[in-house]
Amino acid sequence: MKTKLLTTLIIAGSAAASQFAEAADGQINFTGTVTAQTCTINGGTSGNFTVALPKVAASSLAAAGQTAGRTPFTISLAACTPKTGAVRAFFESPNTDAATGRLKLDAGGSSNVQIGLLNGSDQSPIKLGMAEATQNSLPATLADGVATLSYYAMYYATGAATAGAANSRVMYTIAYQ
């Protein structure tokens, strides 16, 4: 009886072990870099700040494609290491409309309005939520560890706007090139 039980356990154990004895199909390698590149961000406390867009009449955003309230803002960098090179902001937000690359507004406010960001130098649109290389956030040159990234924020109508709050947010990361 003990012999039959032992034989059964050996066969069952061999069958289970053979499931894990298969050869690997390949290997995945991960590469990356951790750098000491840093800057002091002077856009506000701990890098957080608010851009106050002006009050605009809903009638100024009466049709899709109309814009209003273009407001300049900057992200100022100082004490960057390295002291030369280029930097840009990379923008991310769960509030991004993937089709337009603009920010959707918080629920309960104005409707048919989004907030768009433009580069300060040429006023070309920044496509928020896209990959860094396709966002079109233009770089600034670091000179002696200092750079200023200039932008505009504006209301963008996706249809006839209704009155209400127009609040949203975006996170940014400084990307060194």
CB 132 within 8 A of CB 87: no
pTM above 0.85, yes or no: no
- The pLDDT score that the predictor gives to residue 45 is 52
- The pLDDT score that the predictor gives to residue 29 is 79
Tell me the C-alpha distance between 99 and 114, whole Å: 12
Cβ-proximal residues to 19 (8 Å cutoff; 6+ apart), any chain: none
- The pLDDT score that the predictor gives to residue 5 is 44
Q: Which residues of the chain have pLDDT under 70?
A: 1-22, 31, 36-37, 43-45
Residue ranges per domain, the chain? 38-176
What type of residue sits at position 155? Y
- The pLDDT score that the predictor gives to residue 102 is 97
**Top CATH class, 38-176:** mainly beta
- The pLDDT score that the predictor gives to residue 51 is 93
- The pLDDT score that the predictor gives to residue 81 is 85
- The pLDDT score that the predictor gives to residue 48 is 85
Choose among 42, 36, 41, 47: nearest CA to 81: 36
- The pLDDT score that the predictor gives to residue 40 is 85
The size of the chain, in residues, is: 177
